[in-house]
């Protein structure tokens, strides 16, 4: 390990998520000697904890017809004034090249999600599905011993806390009735069949979602002999004559310098777990407990970039999503599915609805802040639902009531987490919201739910809203009356999947100063860089697609720069 440190390499990549591993892979294939530094003892970052979905327009896997022109129209429309048309055009073109390259030259494989609509599918150039693709599952034993150091998945993606499933399976499970139950039984049999391997590796060996994506990237790096140095974090950048020539790291209490002829790619993720940076840059109130992301996302790469003179932008932004806090878990739990299912609403602390809960999660998450800033306390807000919802659908870590009824649910989840109450009045008292207003809100919502039309916020009007709805027996798959006691409510926070502000780059990933000049030898990608998607989220996979693409492009730029 130390000898690695005494040898120079061509390129240092900081961080082993989607951006870092894609960069390392491409750099190696372009003939560079590359090393990846990873601060934690696990590789994969938030990428490994994610759904592993990647958004690439006009990809060859999709059934819907698409074109680069439509994709660019769409991105320009949804990013508005803040989108950079040149960078968006680069994304549309180069994401397709990145995908083609990885498919032909690596172990990375994506399968289409033909029903997963763009988040603004009705906007010009929007599509009803297929631009989002999910990582194909893999047998983790292909990684050998490295499997033990793959960051574990987010617990919320684990069925019964034990095994993962694909996004396609999750969708069928939610609304599949008996088919869902059969699918579940099949997955469980597969899990049992892996018992021996599980004992050997100390974890489940079949990788799904983000674990599969991180696993496939690592598998590709292992085959190339590209090292990932675990437990070795960037402490600072080394500059000589205006050029970044290496990094400072600390090992066993000693500062050491690792040099790289072609410079450094910063791919160390965002700053969602850094309370001071959240306080300095983000909307308030905020907490590191509301994010669902990797605990090592502490903004190290962003601060190092800024110290080297890079300009930062979009620092007040994140990939927002409503999350909840679960007893005995340090991670925020994403409510992407629950918020769309019929028979639930979000209320502020005055007992009023304030947004289309089923809208894109980036908007629903931001809506909590907007409501709060407008004067109605909404941090936390509450998701209110009834016995029918509880019976049919999962709520955070609590399985649907048909599989896990309240009698078999621990008190900390039933009472403390879900605030089970026999009446709306009792629920209002528990939450401290005005009883009359809560009842009025629920009554009005119920009238609209019965009519199948949410006149107030348009819940269920779009393809994206309906993706996680339940169409069985309903004209509007996102609407059902909240009427059957007992009633429940969980706290909802303006959480995130990661921050999206960081080092400003040009469209090949080169770090820029405030005057627009390039910092020689310094590159950034993924959540370490300011996002090409500005303040929006085009569709599922809208963060990993750019992380892979701009990691890939940064490596190409580094390979071109032979001074």
Ligand X SMILES: Cc1cc2nc3c(=O)[nH]c(=O)nc-3n(C[C@H](O)[C@H](O)[C@H](O)COP(=O)(O)OP(=O)(O)OC[C@H]3O[C@@H](n4cnc5c(N)ncnc54)[C@H](O)[C@@H]3O)c2cc1C
Binding residue (CB under 6 A) for ligand X from 28, 34, 35, 52: 52
Strand partners of residue 234: 249
Between 448 and 505, whose beta carbon lies closer to ligand X?
505
227-266: which residues touch ligand X (CB under 6 A)? 233-234
CB of 27: closest distance to ligand X in angstroms?
15
* Contact letters for ligand X, residues 186-225 (x by CB under 6 A): ----------------------------------------
Q: Of 387 and 511, which has the nearer Cβ to ligand X?
A: 511
Q: Cβ closer to ligand X: 268 or 428?
A: 268
Interacting residues with ligand X between 520 and 559 (CB under 6 A): 526-528, 540-544, 547
409 Cβ neighbours under 8 A, 6+ residues apart: 398
By the 8 A CB rule, do 180 and 174 touch?
yes
We find the least distance from the C-beta atom of residue 194 to ligand X, in angstroms, to be 23
Q: Cα separations (Å) of 51 from 179, 389, 479, 525, 541?
A: 22, 24, 26, 19, 8
Give start and end residues of each alpha helix (H) in 337-405: 361-373, 387-392
Pick out residues in 343-362 that bind ligand X (CB under 6 A).
none
Of 201 and 319, which CB lies nearer to ligand X in the complex structure? Answer: 319
Q: How far is the CB of 361 from ligand X (least distance, A)?
A: 10
Q: Is 497 in the site for ligand X (CB under 6 A)?
A: yes
Contact in structure between 511 and 308 (CB atoms under 8 Å): yes
DSSP string covering 137-194, please? PEEGGGGGGGGGGBPPPPGGGSBTTTB---HHHHHHHHH-THHHHHHHHHHHHHHHHT
Residue nearest to ligand X (CB): 17
Candidates 26, 28, 39, 353: give the one binding ligand X (CB under 6 A): 39
Q: Does 292 bind ligand X (CB under 6 A)?
A: yes
| Contact (CB, 8 A) for 322 and 356 | no
Tell me whether residue 267 or residue 337 sits nearer to ligand X (CB atom): 267
Q: Specify burial of residue 142 (Cβ count, 10 A radius: 0-12, 13-18, 19+).
A: middle
Binding mask 395-414 for ligand X (x = CB under 6 A): --------------------
Q: Is 516 helix (H, G, I), strand (E, B) or coil?
A: coil
- Does 380 bind ligand X (CB under 6 A)? Our answer is no
**Residue 15 interacting with ligand X (CB under 6 A):** yes
Closest to ligand X by CB, 326 or 438:
326
Nearer to ligand X, 50 or 504 (CB): 50
Instruction: Give the integer Cα–Cα distance in Å for 173 and 185.
Output: 11
**Closest CB to ligand X among residues 361, 445:** 361
Nearer to ligand X, 530 or 547 (CB): 547
One of 246, 460, 498, 539 touching ligand X (CB under 6 A): 498
Q: How far is the CB of 113 from ligand X (least distance, A)?
A: 10
**Nearest-approach distance from CB 417 to ligand X, in angstroms:** 19
Within 317-403, where are the H helices?
361-373, 387-392
Single residue of 10, 300, 357, 371 touching ligand X by CB under 6 A: 300
Q: Is 467 in the site for ligand X (CB under 6 A)?
A: no
DSSP state of 296: T
Between CA 217 and CA 98 the distance in angstroms is 13
**Max CA distance (Å), the chain:** 72
Q: Of all residues in the chain, what percent are helix, strand and coil, respectively (each to 5)?
A: 40, 20, 40
* Rounded-to-integer distance, Cα 235 and Cα 232, Å: 9
Helical spans, DSSP H, in 245-354 = 275-281, 300-307
272 binds ligand X (CB under 6 A): no
Give the one residue of 23, 51, 106, 482 binding ligand X; rule: CB under 6 A.
51
Q: How far is the CB of 329 from ligand X (least distance, A)?
A: 12
Q: Which residues of 435-460 are buried (b: 16+ CB within 10 A; e: fewer)?
A: beebbebbeebbebbeeebbeebebb
How far, in Å, are 434, 474, 487 from residue 453 at the CA level? 26, 11, 23
CB of 134 to ligand X, least distance (A): 7
- Which position among 23, 37, 314, 315 is part of the footprint of ligand X (CB under 6 A)? 37
- Site map for ligand X, 306-345, x if CB under 6 A? -------------x--------------x-----------
DSSP string, 243-255: EEEEEEEEETTEE
Chosen residue from 9, 11, 46, 532 binding ligand X by CB under 6 A? 46
What does the alpha-carbon distance between residue 498 and residue 546 come to, in Å, rounded to a whole number? 14
**Which residue among 12, 34, 35, 38 contacts ligand X (CB under 6 A)?**
38
Q: Under the rule (CB under 6 A), what is the footprint of ligand X?
A: 14-20, 37-40, 45-47, 49-53, 154, 233-234, 267-269, 292-294, 296-297, 300, 319, 334, 497-498, 526-528, 540-544, 547
């Amino acid at each position: 390990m130390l000898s690695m440190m005494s040898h120079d390499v061509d390129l240092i990549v900081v961080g082993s998520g989607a951006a870092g591993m894609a960069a390392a892979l491409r750099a190696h294939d372009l003939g560079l000697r590359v090393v990846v530094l990873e601060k934690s003892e696990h590789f994969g970052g938030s990428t490994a904890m994610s759904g592993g979905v990647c958004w690439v327009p006009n990809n060859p896997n999709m059934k819907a017809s698409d074109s680069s022109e439509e994709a660019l129209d769409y991105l320009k429309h949804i990013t508005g004034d803040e989108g950079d048309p040149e960078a968006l055009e680069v994304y549309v073109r180069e994401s397709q090249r990145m995908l083609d390259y990885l498919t032909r030259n690596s172990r990375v494989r994506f399968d289409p999600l033909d029903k997963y609509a763009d988040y603004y599918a009705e906007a010009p150039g929007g599509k009803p599905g297929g631009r989002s693709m999910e990582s194909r599952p893999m047998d983790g034993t292909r990684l050998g011993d490295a499997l033990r150091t793959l960051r574990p998945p987010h617990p919320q993606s684990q069925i019964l806390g034990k095994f993962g499933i694909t996004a396609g399976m999750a969708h069928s499970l939610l609304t599949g009735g008996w088919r869902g139950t059969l699918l579940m039984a099949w997955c469980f049999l597969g899990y049992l069949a892996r018992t021996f391997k599980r004992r050997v590796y100390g974890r489940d060996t079949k990788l799904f979602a983000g674990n599969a994506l991180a696993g496939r990237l690592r598998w590709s790096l292992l085959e190339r002999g590209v090292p990932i140095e675990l437990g070795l974090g960037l402490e600072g950048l080394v500059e000589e004559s205006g050029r970044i020539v290496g990094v400072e790291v600390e090992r066993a209490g000693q500062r050491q310098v690792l040099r790289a002829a072609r410079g450094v790619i910063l791919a160390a993720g965002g700053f969602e777990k850094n309370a001071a940076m959240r306080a300095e840059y983000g909307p308030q109130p905020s907490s590191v407990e509301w994010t669902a992301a990797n605990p090592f996302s502490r903004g190290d790469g962003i601060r190092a970039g800024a110290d080297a003179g890079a300009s930062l932008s979009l620092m007040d932004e994140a990939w927002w999503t409503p999350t909840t806090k679960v007893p005995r878990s340090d991670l925020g739990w994403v409510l992407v599915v629950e918020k769309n299912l019929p028979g639930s609403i979000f209320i502020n602390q005055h007992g009023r609805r304030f947004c289309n809960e089923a809208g894109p999660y980036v908007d629903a998450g931001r809506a909590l802040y907007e409501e709060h800033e407008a004067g109605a306390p909404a941090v936390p807000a509450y998701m209110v639902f009834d016995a029918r919802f509880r019976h049919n659908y999962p709520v955070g870590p609590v399985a649907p009531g048909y599989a896990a009824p309240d009698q078999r649910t621990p008190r900390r989840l039933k009472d403390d987490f879900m605030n089970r109450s026999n009446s709306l009045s009792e629920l209002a008292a528990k939450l401290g919201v005005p009883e009359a207003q809560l009842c009025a809100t629920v009554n009005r919502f119920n009238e609209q739910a019965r009519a199948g039309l949410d006149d107030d916020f348009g819940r269920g009007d779009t393809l994206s809203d309906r993706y996680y709805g339940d169409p069985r027996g309903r004209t509007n798959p996102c609407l059902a009356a909240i009427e059957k006691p007992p009633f429940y409510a969980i706290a909802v926070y303006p959480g995130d999947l990661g921050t999206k502000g960081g080092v400003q780059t040009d469209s090949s990933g080169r770090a820029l100063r405030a005057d627009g000049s390039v910092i020689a030898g310094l590159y950034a990608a993924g959540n370490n860089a300011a996002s090409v998607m500005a303040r929006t989220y085009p569709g599922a996979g809208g963060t990993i697609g750019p992380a892979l693409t701009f990691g890939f492009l940064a490596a190409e730029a580094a390979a071109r720069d032979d001074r």
